[in-house]
């Protein structure tokens, strides 16, 4: 599968779940709130223009709209139906754009603040995408984001390993090997969020409800028998770890 085909599948999956995303998105809401607090609490120079990548249904966008009432807001997502939901939440003041955040074409202006909550983990080339986005920062501007780190779903990965199965969860970087773009200062904080699930089935169902179901590139799905054994091994409930990286890039 080419990277464009993968992106189309990701965009389609999120678009198809846009109407029910909010109900399943407890962790996403929590992470967007934490990132919003960081943005609101940071000493930013004058913010005239804000760009959000992967705005989804607008958990973070709504907070940005409140925090920067005089700034121009550009809210973007690769999935058109997510943008529609975002507009329904935030209203018509911002500009809405269907955009692949890894290839931010058609944005001529520079931004004082670029933000993104839990979208960068879907990038095919995180290093290249961050380089492109950093190039859109105005002098003195800042990128503030949350993305997933390498300990994410370690219990799910471990359940696969215990049965000798290959796990379809993509590989994410850690704080120590994060692919920062060169020539920019950066900072990172990490947090482990644990989300309880009734069982493995409940976990898989909730990822599907979010539209977050595209596995790592090249992954071959488990046979029905192997999948049943996997779910049986998680019967009785478990808490899944979300390893959240809060990063900043300073221009």
Using CB under 6 A, list all residues that contact ligand SAM. 7, 10-11, 14, 25, 28, 32, 53-56, 59-60, 77-79, 82, 100-102, 117-119, 122-123, 212
SS3 19: coil
Dihedral sign for Cα atoms in the order 120, 51, 193, 207: negative
Contact 117, 27 (CB under 8 A): no
As measured in angstroms, the least distance from the Cβ of 63 to ligand SAM is 10
**At its nearest, how many Å lie between ligand SAM and the CB of residue 9?**
10
Among 31, 29, 109, 102, residue whose Cα is nearest residue 71: 109
Q: Alpha helix (H) ranges present in the chain?
A: 3-17, 21-24, 26-41, 59-67, 80-90, 126-134, 154-162, 200-210, 224-233
CA distance 34 to 29: 9
Least Cβ distance, residue 27 to ligand SAM (angstroms): 9
Nearer to ligand SAM, 4 or 235 (CB): 4
What three-state secondary structure class fits 150? Answer: coil
Using the minimum distance from each CB to ligand SAM, give the nearer residue, 116 or 178.
Answer: 116
State the DSSP code for 58.
Answer: S
Considering beta carbons, is residue 64 or 230 the nearer one to ligand SAM?
64
Dist CA 163 CA 161 (whole Å) = 5
Nearer to ligand SAM by Cβ, of 101 and 200: the residue is 101
Nearer to ligand SAM (CB atom), residue 65 or residue 100: 100
Closest CB 112 distance from ligand SAM, rounded Å: 20
Which residue lies nearest ligand SAM, judged by its C-beta?
56
Report the nearest approach of ligand SAM to the CB of residue 161 (Å).
25
């Amino acid at each position: 599968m080419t990277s464009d085909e993968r992106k189309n599948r990701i965009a389609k999956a999120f678009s198809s779940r846009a109407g029910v995303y909010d109900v399943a998105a407890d962790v996403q809401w929590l992470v967007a709130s934490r990132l919003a607090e960081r943005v609101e609490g940071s000493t930013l120079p004058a913010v005239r223009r804000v760009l959000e990548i992967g705005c989804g249904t607008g958990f973070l966008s709504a907070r940005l709209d409140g925090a920067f009432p005089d700034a121009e807001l550009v809210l973007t997502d690769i999935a058109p139906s997510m943008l529609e939901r975002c507009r329904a939440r935030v209203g018509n003041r911002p500009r809405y754009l269907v955009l692949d955040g890894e290839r931010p074409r058609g944005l001529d202006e520079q931004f004082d603040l670029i933000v993104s909550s839990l979208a960068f983990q879907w990038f095919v080339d995180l290093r290249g995408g961050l380089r492109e986005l950093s190039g859109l920062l105005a002098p003195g501007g800042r990128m503030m984001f949350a993305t997933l780190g390498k300990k994410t779903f370690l219990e799910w990965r471990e359940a696969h390993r215990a049965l000798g199965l290959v796990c379809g969860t993509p590989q994410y970087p850690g704080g120590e090997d994060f692919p920062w773009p060169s020539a920019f200062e950066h900072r990172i904080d990490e947090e482990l969020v644990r989300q309880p699930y009734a069982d493995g089935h409940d976990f898989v169902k909730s990822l599907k409800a979010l539209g977050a179901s595209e596995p790592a590139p090249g992954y071959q799905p488990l046979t029905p028998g192997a999948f049943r054994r996997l779910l049986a091994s998680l019967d009785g409930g478990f808490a899944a770890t979300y390893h959240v990286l809060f990063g900043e890039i300073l221009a």
